[in-house]
Structure 1
Amino acid sequence: GLLTLAPWLMKTLSVLGTIAMFLVGGGILVHGIPGSHDWVHHLGELAGAISWAIPVLVNLIGGLIAGLIVLAVVSVVGRLRGKSEAH
């Protein structure tokens, strides 16, 4: 059973871990923006019953945007240096 479950468990943990990294990184970046905490809190109040989801979504979106920017920069630098993406 353990050998059957292990690959599924590792794939699940890798996906959840990646999402967690985007949430944490996005949270750090979003909280570094002056006034963002008040803005997120206000959006949460407007959301009502799902107010808990607003900071999560804002942090996730912030992390995804930052990740996409880093990916773009790394890709451009790699191409400028003559390295293919396959390596």
Structure 2
Amino acid sequence: MSFPSNTQWSVAPFDNNGTISSFHPTPWEFGNGTMQAQGLWNGEYQHTPSSSNTIKCHLNNGDMFEVIFVTTTRFIATKNGGLYRFGKLI
């Protein structure tokens, strides 16, 4: 699977009960190794060598999580072992 360079994703909170909340109005934008939610945060991501569909994300505010691309148009982010965000390609 290819990684998300130069893409935008609509993202919503996702909890361990499987509930997806409302999508945030600011999309996540992935560049070539960089990511941001414009005006809110920015950071970097790295490919995970052990998985062709997972990236590790490190935000400049110290936040860390993983993004698993389940299809070419959907992802699930996990944080501290729990569900964190659901994303769909815009």
Q: TM over 0.5: same fold? A: no
Q: TM-score range by the shorter chain?
A: under 0.3
TM-score, structure 2 as length reference:
0.18
Answer 1 or 2: which has greater helix percent: 1
Q: Which has the larger radius of gyration?
A: 1
TM-score, structure 1 as length reference:
0.18
